[in-house]
Each structure stands twice: as C-alpha cells, then as structure tokens.
Amino acid sequence: MLGYAILVVAVLFNIYVLILLCLTSSRDPGVIPRNLHPPEEEFRYDSSVSVDIGGRQTPSLQFPRTKEVMVNGHPVRVKYCDTCMLYRPPRCSHCSICNNCVERFDHHCPWVGQCIGLRNYRYFFLFVSSATILCIYVFSISAFYIKVLMNHYHGTVWTAMKESPASVILMAYCFISLWFVGGLTGFHLYLIGTNQTTYENFRYRADNRLNVYNRGCLNNFLEVFCTKVKPSRNNFRAFVQEDVPRPPPQIISRESEPDLGGDPRSKVEDDLDIGEDLLKISQRRNIEEIDEDIRSRGSNGPAHNTSEVDSVLGSDRRAPTIRSEARHSSEGRSESWEISSEVLANSNLTETRGYVASKEVRQKLGGSF
C-alpha cells in the first residue's frame, strides 16, 4: 500500500511540473508591441546644424537616443530601440533571439524555448524549483528502496543494486539533474531576494550601481509571487492591420529658368540656309561669267560645252542635299546641335566641283578660239 502511495505522489508531482513548463513556454513573457513609426513627439530640430537640401539651408533633424525617467525617486536612463521604434521601459531589453522587446527581461531560456520576463517569471521559478523537488523526491525514494532490499536479503549494496537496476538508473539521473536545476533554483532565490534579473546581474555586476528596485527581501518576494500579473499588451488572435503609408514629404524643386537663347534647332537650320544661299550665289556668278564670255566671243564653240554647263548646273541641283542631310543629322541628335563633319565635307566637295568645272569650261572655250 505504501508503494502505491509513493507512485501516485510521483506521478501527480510530475504532471504538476509539466503544467508549469507549458505555462512558462506558452505564456506571453511581456512582449511590447512595436510601433509602425518612430515617436514624432520626440523629434526636434537643431538649427545649429543645417543640411543643404535643394539649394536651401534647412535645420537638421535630431532624435534623442536616450532619455531619463524617475523610478522610486531615482533617475533611470532608458534607450531607444531601432527595431521596435520605441523607448524601452525600465528593466526592458530587446531579445536578439525572439527579436522583441520584453518587459522586465530576465533571460532567454533555450530549454523552454521562450523568453523569461514579467508575465512568466513566476511560473519559470516554480517550474525550476518544482523540478528540483521532484529530483530530490525520486532520488530519496530510490535510495530508500535500495536500503529496503539490503535489509530484506541481508546482503550488501551491490546485491541490492543487482536486484533493482532501475533504482540505480533513477538515482544517477536525478543526481546529475539536481546539479543543474538545484543550482538554478538557488541562483534565482538570490535574484528574487535582491530584486534583480539575470540580465541586470551579469551586465551591471562590475558597475556597483545602486539597485533602485530593491524594496527589501520580504517585499521583493511578495512582488514576484503575490502581485497580480498584468494583462498582455498583444492580441495574438487579432487580424493583422495593414500599415497606412504616410504622405511623402514635399520636395522643393527649383523653378526652370526661361530659355532666352531660343530654339537651337531653328538656329542650326537658319545657319544651313544661309550657307546654302551663299553657295548658290557663288555658283550662279561663275555661270553668268561663262555665259557672258560665250556670248561675247560667239557661238562657234563645240557642242559639248552645253554639257559642261549642265554639269555645273548639276552641281547646283545637288546643293539642296546638303540641307536635307544636315537637317537629318541635326534632327537625329537630341543633345548636340553642332554641324556634322559629313555635312561640312559635302559642302566643301560641292564648292570644289563647281570651281573645277567652271575652270575646265573656260580653258576649253579659250582653246577653241
């Protein structure tokens, strides 16, 4: 009958430990909801530092990275979290694994897969201390059973261990586990008595800072175990709200200055027209001089003189191609309005042909007479 009672107590206590483990791992540790935008009320403009934006000097936007709050009559500096875009409350820290800011952050426990903070620290300590008590209970009952076997068989310890190898395995397992959970329980008893967190103890141990949260050993224990747990700030079953985009900032642009130089395309075309007219005038003047020579000397020249004149006139007919090619080259370029080298070469070639043709006609006419 005593054996069944021992077994029932062990099973119930084990269930109790598992319930505490589930509460620790599934409860919100005190995650602070993130802000969608930085707190605008903390913005300030520093007129001493200016930035050149759009040709105008504007004051630089400054954002304080820390600020001070009063805790139990003492100033405490709190930091701004860039990830959550908020000022962390006192004793709050950002967990790099969960990627959230947690109130009264103690540590991230890999054994339960959860951060330990304000809302689940009580259950975490009860889980660790209950596991310690369970290990002590199982180890003690197993050792007691070995003693009973020794008295029953009137033998040595080795004889009793051979009769119940399961008791030996349980004793070894509980002895090893007791060093971990037992040491953790003792450490957290010290932290609760001094009202510290694991994060604060490891980070500020060497700074010798005044603990502004310590209210005495008894009040510290009452704060952890007898105060009402704050409700969660998150509604994990709610639908995700879409982020409303902010209106884009106004961009100051310089007004376009009026173009006083006129259209460059029309200017280039006018220059080409003037050059073409001058070319035609020079060619026509040469033809008129040849015609006057022919009339003054008579019309007894050879028949092929008219073809020579036509060749000169042909060069005059080819002259408009300079304008079309030049216009095409000027229209093909959207940024540069300079006359291409091909147009200049064609114009020079046309002038050379006209001059050579007129010279040949004069020599032939002179030879015939």
Rounded CA separation 53/268 (Å)? 38
What end-to-end distance do the CA atoms of the chain give, in Å?
158
DSSP strands (E only) in 63-134: 66-71, 74-81, 86-87, 93-95, 100-102, 107-109, 114-116
Nearest to 20, CA basis, from 128, 110, 182: 128
Rounded CA separation 162/133 (Å)? 27
Contact in structure between 112 and 21 (CB atoms under 8 Å): yes
Rounded CA separation 42/66 (Å)? 11
Rounded CA separation 111/24 (Å)? 11
CA–chain centroid gap for 290, Å, is 82
Contact in structure between 91 and 77 (CB atoms under 8 Å): no
What does the block give as tokens for 52?
């050149």
Nearest to 27, CA basis, from 121, 129, 127, 131: 121
What does the block give as tokens for 259?
């173009």
Write out the H or E segment, with its range, that includes residue 257: none
Write out the H or E segment, with its range, that includes residue 59: strand 56-62
The residue type at 228? K
For residue 119, the tally of other CB atoms under 10 A from its CB is 20
Nearest to 149, CA basis, from 5, 173, 141: 141
What does the block give as tokens for 237?
């079953």
Catalytic position from the list 101, 109, 115, 174 = 109
Rounded CA separation 194/212 (Å)? 11
Q: Is 109 a catalytic residue?
A: yes
Residue linked to tokens 């009559």 = 73
List active site positions: 109
